[in-house]
């Protein structure tokens, strides 16, 4: 394995009913005025908005609101949040929602004390030196954003979707209450499953030698997601399944705990970002399409890892099969699982044709080739996009 | 799974050569005077002492020394360290060694700002409210103390060995350089293996329902330790094996990451502490003797978990075997592995007879029954000790 530094200062509080701790816990962080960031208003329908604002009031915490953060959250929304924080003297950003809401909240938290445009961080023109403290109440299991410092924002004006990560944007506290995910609709649940699995794939398919523990940690999460995903889809109020998925989602991308010392890949994420930057599709819908094609395109760089994936994660019987056959069987099992749970399989399923593929490929490699398992240049990306049509 | 809070603010820096970062990193923590805590002097023989003190000097950090921390570290040594810190104006405690050295350093860090006797924390008469910052350079893979807030100290005057854990005694920084463990002798390597596996056992054998991810994380560590243990014993300079063991040791007990939401047991540790409080044997030597007997005594509380352990960790073929047979096969495989790597199997192997067993049993349950998998009363503990003769 490679040398590494690991540091994750996020406190997580997990369990049914944990959402009732928000007021007390935010007060314990020492903030008296917060920006309450949320999405399309489902938290008003479910009563979570009232539940949280009542706690804030009871704890003597004032708040201002930034509602309407969309999936693929927008730079314009982030700018609005930064202005609100500055004009209202906000001390802490409280995100209530899924990964998009939390990512927008991170951008706001980092943007408030920065004199330039927060977009600079995403374009690698500046580094985050400080941020407002951030707390989250997670309502959708998927991105792991609740326990890492990463954020992805879309600049619609420039049709760019970019990411950054910083130690300053780790939440101080994340409240993980699996009962809040009971109301997540089936399609969002599917996307969450694909998203978590994709996060693990990005860390698991690696050329780094001697990482037996890290591989097993990845496989542990994948197996547990696969087992519990369909249970949560069958019965959205299955507390066991929702709890297991929530823990898996957080562990899958909590600052790299499962992939310490491993060179990770992230090419598929890079490619998908350029698809959703143009078409505004759900991030995980794009991943479900692209990942199996990425696998087919790159597996020969280390077929043994893909064979191991087939045997350990998908329980493919290795008897009589070559490494190559096993590798392909694991990829096929992944494709079939995604399809079985209802994720799209082709760009065509989302009515996306070939017209912008070249632009996507070009933008994917804006900062150089992507990925490490097999570094992908523009032509490689284009080929994977074509395989995905 | 149960509700839980998880928070682990220790930064780990892992890799060959990482010991050369000590000066710079301790300086970055803002301390100008440190207490350098170490053990029997092996760090002088290996050159690590010079390597570290030269870095401290180069970084402008003054230091005073507390040498000679023994295995089963003593309260008297801790008292000496606290006095040194107070009289010398020490700002940070730097532990260079294995779990005993780190545990003593934690006691010192917590004891310095406390007006009473630090032993109060161990006897549950007081709670830690603050501590000096602590950094560690790990030289023996075993206890996980480098990434948790736990400390175990022996009060020889009263022949008591007690523990506490606090968020204030998590190291700020731990440097994990696997090459430092090349010189760990075979018996210490064996004890480290037994210790890490025992830590996982305490978290894995649980009655908590619905913990599929946590179980797999535990199994991942156990499998990786088992695979790499004998390789490290065959070739002490096997960097791959030493690296894998070091990561396993840290992950096995880093504030409960692998057992979030799981009711853990710790009865075997409680029993062993009373053996080594009287006989000053190596902690893990005691664990190697007691754990398989504890398993035999308690497995019927959840034989399915022990059967799973046999199949997933020891690759026992389940074909044609009952749950009971599998459970017993897993326990036997554990006993055989411990014996194969050279750990003792009976108290008799350490020349310990039955004369103090009753006293040990009584002291084990001083604060009430121990364990949760099967709560053990004095008579149960006595029986397990008798099985261990």
Q: Calculate how close chain B gets to A12, using CA atoms only, in Å.
A: 5
Which chain B residue has its CA at the smallest distance from A5's CA?
B13
User: What per-residue confidence (pLDDT) applies to A72?
Assistant: 85
Residue B277 pLDDT > 90, yes or no?
Answer: no
Residues of A engaging B, defined by a Cβ cutoff of 8 Å: 1-18, 209-210, 212-213, 216-217, 219-221, 223-224, 227-228, 240, 243-244, 247-248, 251, 257, 260-261
B11-180 and B185-387, same CATH topology? no
List the Cα angle A16/B144/A208 in 5-degree steps: 90
Rounded CA-CA distance A369/A338 in Å is 27
Distance CA A242, CA A230 (A): 11
pLDDT at B41 over 90: no
- pLDDT of A305 reads 98
Residue carrying structure tokens 């749970």: A341
Run of H or E including B285: helix B283-298
State which H helix or E strand residue A218 sits in: helix A212-234
Task: Dump pLDDT digits (tens) for B312-349.
Answer: 999 999 999 999 999 999 999 999 999 999 999 999 99
pLDDT of residue A134: 98
Which tens digit of pLDDT belongs to each residue from A209-261? 999 999 999 999 999 999 999 999 999 999 999 999 999 999 999 989 999 99
Other Cβ atoms closer than 10 A to A336: 13
Cβ-contact A200, A258 below 8 angstroms: yes
What is the C-alpha separation between A40 and A70, in angstroms, rounded? Answer: 7
Question: Could you report the per-residue pLDDT of B226-259, keeping only the tens digit for each?
Answer: 999 999 999 999 999 999 999 999 999 998 999 9
Per-residue confidence (pLDDT) for residue B71, from 0 to 100? 86
Residues in chain A with pLDDT values less than 70: none
CB contact under 8 A, A213 and B251: yes
Q: What is the pLDDT of residue B259?
A: 97
Q: What is the pLDDT of residue B142?
A: 93
- Chain A partners within 8 Å of B240 (Cβ): 209-210
Ranges of each domain in chain A = 11-180, 185-387
Query: What's the pLDDT score for residue A71?
Result: 86
Pick the CATH number of A185-387 from 1.10.10.10, 1.10.3110.10, 3.40.50.300, 1.20.1090.10: 1.20.1090.10
Strand segments, DSSP code E, in chain B are: 4-14, 33-37, 62-66, 92-97, 134-138, 150-155, 160-165, 173-176
Give whole-number Cα distances, B142 to A19, A273, B178, B184, in Å. Answer: 37, 43, 12, 11
- Is residue B56 scored above 90 in pLDDT? yes
CB contact under 8 A, A14 and B5: yes
Of B2, B15, B213, the CB nearest to A248: B213
Beta strands, E only, B125-238: 134-138, 150-155, 160-165, 173-176
What is the number of CB-based contacts under 8 A between chain A and chain B?
110
The chain A residue lying nearest B7, using CA atoms, is A11
Tens-place pLDDT, residues B124-145 = 999 999 999 999 999 999 999 9
Residues in B lying within 8 Å of A, measured between beta carbons: 1-18, 209-210, 212-213, 216-217, 219-221, 223-224, 227-228, 240, 243-244, 247-248, 251, 257, 260-261
- Sort out which chain A residues have CB atoms less than 8 A from B17's CB and list them: 3
Residues of A in contact with B216 (CB under 8 A): 216, 219-220, 223-224
Closest by CA position to B376, among listed B275, B293, B310: B293
pLDDT in tens, A154-199: 998 988 888 999 999 999 999 999 999 999 999 999 999 999 999 9
User: If DSSP states are collapsed to H, E and C, what string results for A300-351?
Assistant: HHCHHHHHHHHHHHCCCCCCCCCHHHHHHHHHHHHHHHHHHCCCCCCHHHHC
Q: What is the pLDDT of residues B278-294, one digit of tens each?
A: 998 999 999 999 999 99
Q: Which residues of A touch B228 (CB under 8 A)?
A: 212
Measured distance CA(A189)–CA(B378) in Å, rounded? 50
The whole-chain average pLDDT of chain B stands at 97
| Cβ–Cβ gap A228/B210 under 8 Å | no
What pLDDT is stored for residue A369 in this prediction? Answer: 97
Could you tell me if A330 and A316 are in contact, meaning their C-beta atoms sit under 8 angstroms apart?
yes
Nearest CB to A212 within list B16, B227, B257: B227
Instruction: Kindly determine whether residue B247 and residue A5, on different chains, have CB atoms separated by under 8 Å.
Output: no
**Residues A200, A268: contact at Cβ < 8 Å?**
no
Q: What is the DSSP string of B229-275?
A: HHHHHH-TT-HHHHHHHHHHHHHHTSSSGGGTT-----HHHHHHHHH
Percent of chain B with pLDDT over 70: 100
CATH number for the domain running over B11-180: 3.40.50.1970
């Amino acid at each position: 394995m490679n040398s590494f530094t690991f540091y994750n200062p996020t406190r997580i509080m997990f369990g049914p009913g944990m959402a009732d701790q928000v007021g007390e816990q935010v007060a314990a962080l020492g903030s008296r005025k917060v920006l309450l960031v949320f999405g399309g208003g489902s938290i008003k329908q479910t009563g979570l908005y009232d539940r949280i604002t009542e706690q804030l009031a009871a704890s003597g915490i004032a708040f201002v609101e930034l509602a309407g953060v969309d999936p693929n959250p927008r730079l314009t929304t982030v700018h609005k949040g930064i202005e609100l924080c500055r004009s209202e003297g906000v001390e802490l950003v409280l995100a209530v929602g899924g990964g998009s809401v939390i990512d927008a909240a991170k951008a706001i938290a980092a943007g408030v004390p920065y004199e330039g445009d927060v977009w600079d961080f995403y374009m690698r023109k500046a580094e985050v030196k400080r941020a407002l403290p951030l707390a989250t109440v997670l309502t959708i299991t998927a991105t792991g954003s609740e326990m890492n410092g990463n954020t992805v924002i879309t600049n619609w004006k420039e049709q760019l979707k970019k990411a950054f990560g910083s130690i300053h944007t780790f939440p101080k506290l994340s409240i993980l209450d699996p009962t809040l995910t009971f109301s997540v609709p089936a399609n969002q649940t599917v996307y969450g499953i694909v998203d978590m699995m994709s996060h693990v794939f990005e860390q698991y398919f690696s050329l780094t030698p001697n990482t037996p523990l890290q591989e097993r940690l990845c496989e542990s999460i994948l197996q547990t997601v696969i087992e519990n995903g369909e249970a949560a889809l069958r019965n959205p109020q299955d507390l066991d399944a929702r709890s297991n998925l929530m823990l898996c989602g957080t562990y899958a991308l909590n600052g790299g705990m499962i992939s310490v010392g491993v060179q990770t890949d992230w090419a598929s994420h890079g490619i998908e970002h350029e698809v959703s930057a143009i078409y505004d599709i759900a991030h995980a819908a794009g991943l479900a399409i692209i990942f199996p094609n990425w696998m087919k395109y790159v597996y020969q760089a280390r077929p043994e890892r893909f064979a191991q994936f087939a045997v350990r994660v998908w329980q493919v019987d290795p008897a009589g099969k070559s490494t190559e056959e096993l590798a392909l069987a694991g990829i096929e099992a992944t494709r079939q699982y995604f399809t079985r749970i209802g994720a799209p399989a082709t760009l065509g399923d989302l009515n996306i044709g070939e017209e912008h593929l070249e632009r996507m490929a070009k933008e994917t490699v804006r900062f150089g080739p992507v990925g490490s398992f097999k570094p992908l240049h523009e032509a490689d990306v284009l080929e994977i996009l074509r395989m995905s049509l």
